[in-house]
Amino acid sequence: MEPARPLHFELEPLLASGLPVYWIHGNHDADSDELWVRVWGSELAEQNLHGRVIQLADGTRLGGLGGVFRESVWYPSPAAARGGEPAFRSREAHAKSTPRQDRWGGAGPHRKHWGTIYPNEVDRLADLRADILITHEAPGYHPNGFEILDTLAQQMGVKVAIHGHHHDALDSSARWSEQGFKSFGVGLRGLSLLDTSTWHWSVVRPGELDQARAHRL
């Protein structure tokens, strides 16, 4: 998101409309102290969907997983360091082995790892059920995606998985029946609409790089 002002200011028109607003962070939201404060320190801190499932008024269950996989914590690929095994299973464990002066936000690890995914966060979600899973990283259909997010979506029983991070919106429909869920990317500053009565997806405003990157798949 990289908001220029605290998130509740940036999203003021949406909030004024009375719509429920939830968010997940991207990796860059932890790039500086200022960004961290505008995101995790904003008045919308409680609307963070990371690592949990909420239920909307119409009954739709929405799960979220912000951030990215990082090898220094956990990169779930056999080709990665430690054969894809995590160095830390939780934020708390990572904080404990982080020098006190490098910790951030009280009990957290170094600030940049607020944008990192930990195994216990994925495990926690895997025990929950949801209709929609919103992640920053992409599921396995994407050339830079992760099979483990397919597994997570399947365990949660989601109908639709939505991701960001790659600034593209590739057509993954050929994979949907095999995956067991629909998958969509939201492009750079793109806006899309998901109708939860029909599960129909429509792009309201294409991402700025969608066209240039459409060949990626």
Interface with Fe ion includes 25 (CB under 5 A)?
no
Nearer residue to Fe ion within complex by CB, 31 or 123: 31
CB of 82 to Fe ion, least distance (A): 23
Give the whole-angstrom CA distance, residue 172 versus residue 217: 8
Choices 15-23, 70-78, 93-101, 158-166; region in contact with Fe ion by CB under 5 A: 158-166
Choices 26-34, 43-51, 174-182, 196-204; region in contact with Fe ion by CB under 5 A: 26-34
CB of 2 to Fe ion, least distance (A): 10
CB of 209 to Fe ion, least distance (A): 13
Nearer residue to Fe ion within complex by CB, 39 or 131: 39
Q: Residue 164: which of 134, 192, 133, 204 has the closest Cα?
A: 134
Give the whole-angstrom CA distance, residue 207 versus residue 191: 7
CB of 77 to Fe ion, least distance (A): 17
Interface with Fe ion includes 27 (CB under 5 A)?
yes
Among 11, 26, 40, 44, binds Fe ion (CB under 5 A): 26
CB of 136 to Fe ion, least distance (A): 6
Footprint of Fe ion on 161-190 (CB under 5 A): 165
Nearer residue to Fe ion within complex by CB, 26 or 51: 26
User: Encoding tokens for residue 19?
Assistant: 């719509």
Tokens 């992760």 — which residue?
A: 146
Positions that interact with Fe ion (CB under 5 A): 26-27, 165
